[in-house]
Amino acid sequence: MKMFQRLREVFKSMKHGKPTKKYCPRCGSPKLKLSSSLDFWLTPAKYVCQECGYKGPLTMELEEEST
Ligand SMILES: [Zn+2]
């Protein structure tokens, strides 16, 4: 049943597109806010961690475990 296996692959990739949670790369806190600075048109979106004060475009993205 090759067809069936293909279908399963498709479902896998669809699942991959679901929204993920973002975490601070420094302290791992989920309390990230998108910064709304005035120069947002100069630089890519920045995230601000409310826990440790981290500011930057990088976040850790983790899928929620479904166990
Ligand atoms: Zn942090």
* 14 located within any domain: no
* 13 located within any domain: no
Q: State the pLDDT at residue 57.
A: 85
Residue 4 CA from chain centroid, whole number: 31
Q: State the pLDDT at residue 63.
A: 73
pLDDT tens, N- to C-terminus, the chain (67 residues) = 566 666 666 666 555 566 678 899 999 999 999 876 665 566 667 889 999 999 988 899 877 666 6
Q: State the pLDDT at residue 45.
A: 75
**Ligand 1 midpoint to CA 38 (Å):** 22
**Ligand 1 midpoint to CA 32 (Å):** 8
User: What pTM was estimated for this model as a whole?
Assistant: 0.56
* 36 located within any domain: yes
Residue 28, domain extent: 20-67
Question: What does DSSP assign to residue 26?
Answer: T
**Ligand 1 midpoint to CA 15 (Å):** 28
Question: What does DSSP assign to residue 63?
Answer: P
Q: What's the total number of domains in the chain?
A: 1
Q: State the pLDDT at residue 51.
A: 96
